[in-house]
Amino acid sequence: MMRLYKVHHRLPHFSSSCCCLLHPFSLGNARFPSSTLRSFRHLRTDSTNLFKPAMSAFRFNRLVPVNSSLAEDGSTAGNGSANASLTFAEDDDESVIGVKYRVPPPEIRDIVDAPPLPALSFSPLRDKILFLKRRSLPPLAELARPEEKLAGLRIDGKCNTRSRMSFYTGIGIHPLMPDGSLGPETEVSGLPDGVKINFVTWSNDGKHLTFSVRFEEEESSSSKLRVWVADVETGMARPLFQSPDIYLNAVFDNYVWVDNSTLLVCTIPLSRGDPPKKPLVPSGPKIQSNEQKTIVQVRTFQDLLKDEYDEDLFDYYATSQLVLASLDGTVKEVGSPAVYTSLDPSPDEKYILISSIHRPYSFIVPCGRFPKKVDLWTADGNFVRELCDLPLAEDIPIASNSVRSGMRSLNWRADKPSTLYWAETQDGGDAKVEVSPRDIVYTQPAEPQEGEEPEILHKLDLRYGGISWCDDSLALVYESWYKTRRTRTWVISPGSKDVSPRILFDRSSEDVYSDPGSPMLRRTSTGSYVIAKMRKENDNATYLLLNGNGATPEGDIPFLDLLDINTSSKERIWESDKEKYYESVVALLSDQKEGDIHINDLKILTSKESKTENTQYYIQSWPDKKLCQITNFRHPYPQLASLQKEMIRYERKDGVRLTATLYLPPGYDPLKDGPLPCLVWSYPGEFKSKDAAGQVRGSPNEFAGIGPTSALLWLARRFAILSGPTIPIIGEGDEEANDRYVEQLVASAEAAVEEVIRRGVAHPNKIAVGGHSYGAFMTANLLAHAPHLFCCGIARSGAYNRTLTPFGFQNEDRTLWEATNTYVEMSPFMSANRIKKPILLIHGEEDNNPGTLTMQSDRFFNALKGHGALCRLVILPFESHGYSARESIMHVLWETDRWLQKHCVSNTSEVSADIGKNKDGEGKEVTDIENKAVAASGGGGAELADDIESGQFYSKTRSLMWMDSDLSNIFNILSNFNCTASLIYSTLPTTRIQRQESEGEVVEDGDGDGDGDGDGDGDGEIEDAEEDTPAPTMEEDIEVDDKLELLKEHKELKMTKVSSVDEFKAQGDGKMEEKKMNGCDVTKGKWVYDESYPLYTNGSCPFIDEGFNCGTNGRQDKDYMKWKWQPQDCDFPRFNAAKMLDLISGKRLVFVGDSINRNQWESMLCMLMSAVKDPKKVYETHGRRITKEKGNYSFKFVDYKCTIEYYVSHFLVHESKARIRQKRRPTLRIDAIDHGSSKWKGADIVVFNTAHWWSHFKTKAGINYYQEGNQVHPKLDVSTAFRKALMTWAGWVDRHINPRKTRVFFRNLAPSHFRGGLWNSGGHCMEATWPLNDTSGMEYPEKNRIVEEVILQMKTPVTLLNVTGVSAYRIDGHPSIYGKKPGTRYSSNIQDCSHWCLPGVPDTWNEILFFHLQSKEKSKYHSKFRL
């Protein structure tokens, strides 16, 4: 098979001022009117890509639109321009910065300069594929060509087309063989050298191609576009017109196939002379008037007409002469010259809809709102009738869903030969007017009978959004309303008035989880597209194919459903791979025959990709679903082929769930390499509900496409990239989202930064933020209001002063005068005095995007400079909103890399030390009048930014300040309570460095302290900003009075506890005496058989991993599930899942420890699920499945806003490595807490355990294994090491756990029951099916005594979950040989008699935990452990 290449690039991006129509994908030369295009994706939410601005809205972007050109935003990565006209400077001499264009380092430049990949297009008959060959990035000289800015357009007068067009350099034609492979390429020949190709279009029968051609531009005439035609079989191309004087006018529409041998072409009128000359002296002043007091509110459009000369110039370039041209050379002019904007033949090729615009023009709106006329012509060019002539539309309200009044969306019915349909508003186009119906859809034949009025097809109460046609019995009509995000799909029968319309789908457009997908369309013989009807054998039902993104909490899983249109029942017939690949349905290929498609004849085009594998295309055929790969694209940037990608989930402080895509460089290992500099790149989006904002969009398995200015380029510079972290701005109910913009923006950014720091992949002081357009606006706001998060920012082509866009921006419908505070508070320009972190501003000098005038960056820079901010402004000559010239792109990358290296990689100031603490009241009040609006938004005062910049604002200082300032006062107060000062002294962390002679010498760890953690403090902990002495949140802050209460409790403890641990133990005849809680000693009792158990089953709980799933793995006896623990002195309450969920509502319940604790954690998940009404509202926040391999999990219970988490830590201390006799060997740092400890902090309930791994086998018998400081002990017994490790854990708890917030439990040892040996020497328990009758012969474990002794010495209250005695009876509860599925099961020689089957014994541990949590009476026994 030929090796082909795939292109990743964006569709052309035109503003709303553009009147032209672009086709979203290339499947032959199908004509899709605007409403039909919308219907393709209408059932999919418009919010799908709020956080993926570089991706197209639907998967058809995988096939490039061949019949449209690429605008400046659509340029793609390519190799260096061979004819670049400017020189590049390679040196980094500061004296020449800004003088010459620069290039980034080779590792970035090589990716951008990679050879471009061809675009693909299928023929109408699906038997051939075009390979459209592309060039590299254009040179700046092309952008420097003169252009006219007229009526919202930019016109290249020399070519008489839109300026800044990209083009193709050649066309290859490949036949698609019967076996699905590609045949040999036929190159389109006969073209001049250096040809530039645009507007490639198939004839309806697939036998010919048409395209425009332009040549080198030395001669003025040769730069104009000519129309060429090529024979598909031979590849031979020739000019369509024999006359050399006929040129294409491509300012608006260009040409269409009227039939298989005739085209209707927009040409430059032969009678056109030279362009009008601008008078040296104007005839008068420029005057605009509103003496009629008309309310006209418009957005900030650019490139508008300015005077009469501009009007004449617009007419000169936009006016076309329509010409009918046949392949045999016949040419016929039709109609008069006019500004034709669209040409649309009817399906039966008998009529043509001709749209045009005419005067009077406007100086305040673009051409899309000029007076518009739609006429009906015959195919041979004769006028039939005028359909509408709409007046100038300057007064369309700015509110969302406001539209032009009169006929709109006028199109041909795809299922009829020549029937028209359109919509008309009933509210005057004003969305604020309440009326029912709001829109009416009409239909009418092309040539109605005399007196025949348009027929009402459907009435809508929301705004009309398009129709998908099928036949007279079926069509789908779409309506939506942005303010409420409501979208509805109606089923109508166009040919049966007696059949009432009914709603098929009624949902929120934001709710991507409920998106049912879009109906797949089949191509008809006329080239139109209608809904594909499916049928089954011996089944008379009518089925549609729904092609959906399949959004789920685990990411998108695209699907294909069969929908019974009458019953609405669905059957899934195809679904993407979930584990490694991302697959999607691109198009329906089994549509060569008319009529319904039998399911066994179904054939689809699919794409398949993974995180590291480029997208390939396949043809899949039913009934056996045989796959045939038709492309074999190579990796576009092999140097990043092994990049690491993960879709991560986390939560904002207000409970909104967030997602982001985390990219890490190839070969990166966080344990070896430590945290990286990080670049956060994002774009905010608006939502009406928290639930919708928290939904996952995108797939973790999608290929990482890297564009020429992508943030992912910095993976090659060893950055961590947090791409597209969701920044939802939510306005629920009547609340306007932007009224809390800053607050929500900062909260989302804080959550993202906290997550990458928590994961250990981002250095807290080296996190940069960046964005383009609205993302630049975001960046500036974050540097103003959250300087504690980021070390620097990169803002490209942004708008920073919202008062310059007074009639709305983005989705803001209110004007500046209606929402003055919002406009001011949102504008980073108004907070320029607060921006103290370095910010790089980049802007195209010719930005034409509404709102983002170049002036925005100019004025923002001046404001920053006026306050002494560290800032830099780069203006790119000739560039628009997106950057396209190679010189510009390379320089942008150089500027960005320089900024990141200088202000991120090299940053040493502590910028992130107090994440989440930048709140009102922590900085001084801003008193300047210009700062009041901003200070009220939650960002803190100006002094706060100064403090952070100088490195004075961080958590350690805050905590130590309390201790320094209040220590003497507290000491005096304590004297009144007769307390010793040692209690206060014990709150101060101390560091001891022991140096002993041993055979083990620790290797330098890179920071000089020898502790292995890389942070230079010698304590063995990898610290984030809060690691050593965390500053509590405002809610958690322990005031002096509260501290005194705790200290009084310490005093009472010292007075009442037993004098020694030995004396305490003696009270229980050598065993730990268990104290009663609420009069119930839960540790003394017996197991009783209870038929009402278990509390759940193997089938009802999806969270039991294979190792504990004994019933599923083949264990036949079920009695082990039926036992209930009955305390001897009281009734033990049965576990109540609903009450437990209420107890932990809004909280984090965290289990930390070895696999036995995972046993208990999985049990808790299963027990809680019995109270959950909707299982879909319980999910793992990182999308992980429970296995033995992955150690950390967090399950979110949405309705209760709580998480049940598990973090693996076998020893609770750090498993490390040291050099021993010239080799690096595993060691255990018994003086350093586990490196995952930062994840434990902030929990509301935390259950610790360790014991299972403290064996001579797992700890290498203590020989050269235990490490303290720089020394490895040659020999140390397990008990001593265990005690030291527990003391390390206890110290960490006392330093980092806030007892007012967090309740701490420690579960002691759960006994094993190996008989006849150990786990690896024949130990067994398989024969046990009943509990033991007596456990008196079992010794009380020494590790339990050590746990109790350590807890007694702690200042933090810890509740002991003593499960040893309870579990000692249950020899029957272990998996034995049933820890694996049949066929992979353990042999009888290797049995698991340590872990526990589920359901089973760990359920009782959780009942004990529940008992403690629901008990409202505090234990009066003040020991440091409770029962």
Q: Which residues, in sequence order, are bridge partners of residue 1212?
A: none
> Are the CB atoms for 45 and 514 separated by under 8 Å?
no
In this structure, the strands spanning 161-162 and 168-175 are: unpaired
d(CA 414, CA 384): 21
* Residue in the structure block whose two tokens are 């003086």: 1231
d(CA 532, CA 1293): 64
d(CA 970, CA 949): 33
Give the C-alpha distances (Å, rounded to integers) separating 1092 from 724, 1055, 1085, 1163, 1407: 49, 46, 19, 17, 15
Sign of torsion over alpha carbons 101, 106, 109, 113: positive
b/e per residue 952-987 (b: at least 16 CB within 10 A): ebbbbbbbeebeeeeeeebeebbeeeebeeebbebe
Q: Which of 1247, 1231, 1268, 1241 is nearest to 1021 (CA)?
A: 1231
> Per the residue annotation, which of 409, 773, 827, 1312 is the catalytic one?
773
Give me 519's structure tokens. 């109906």
d(CA 236, CA 61): 29
Q: Which residues, in sequence order, are bridge partners of residue 338?
A: 320
Q: Which residues contact 1194 (CB under 8 A, 6 or more apart)?
A: 1180, 1181, 1182, 1203, 1204, 1205, 1206
* Furthest-apart CA atoms within the chain: distance in Å: 115
In this structure, the strands spanning 1178-1180 and 1192-1197 are: antiparallel
Residue 163 annotated among the catalytic residues of the structure: no
Q: Which of 1203, 1202, 1206 is nearest to 1193 (CA)?
A: 1206
> Are the CB atoms for 217 and 223 separated by under 8 Å?
yes
d(CA 183, CA 794): 47
Residue 471 annotated among the catalytic residues of the structure: no
d(CA 1041, CA 1161): 37
DSSP conformational letter for 1009: S
> Per the residue annotation, which of 174, 772, 881, 1210 is the catalytic one?
881
> Are the CB atoms for 170 and 197 separated by under 8 Å?
yes
Q: What are phi and psi of 18, to 5 degrees?
A: -80, 135
DSSP conformational letter for 1051: H
Give me 1327's structure tokens. 């024969």
Q: Which residues contact 1373 (CB under 8 A, 6 or more apart)?
A: 1120, 1331, 1367, 1396, 1397, 1400, 1401
Q: Which residues, in sequence order, are bridge partners of residue 767?
A: 678
d(CA 978, CA 1050): 11
Q: For the chain, give me the number of helices (H) and strands (E)?
A: 23, 65
d(CA 1351, CA 1362): 13
DSSP conformational letter for 923: S
Give the C-alpha distances (Å, rounded to integers) separating 1393 from 88, 785, 1186, 1311, 1312: 70, 56, 21, 9, 6
> Per the residue annotation, which of 73, 591, 847, 1024 is the catalytic one?
847
d(CA 174, CA 232): 10
Residue 847 annotated among the catalytic residues of the structure: yes
> Are the CB atoms for 1185 and 1279 separated by under 8 Å?
no
d(CA 65, CA 119): 8
Give me the active site residues, please: 773, 847, 881
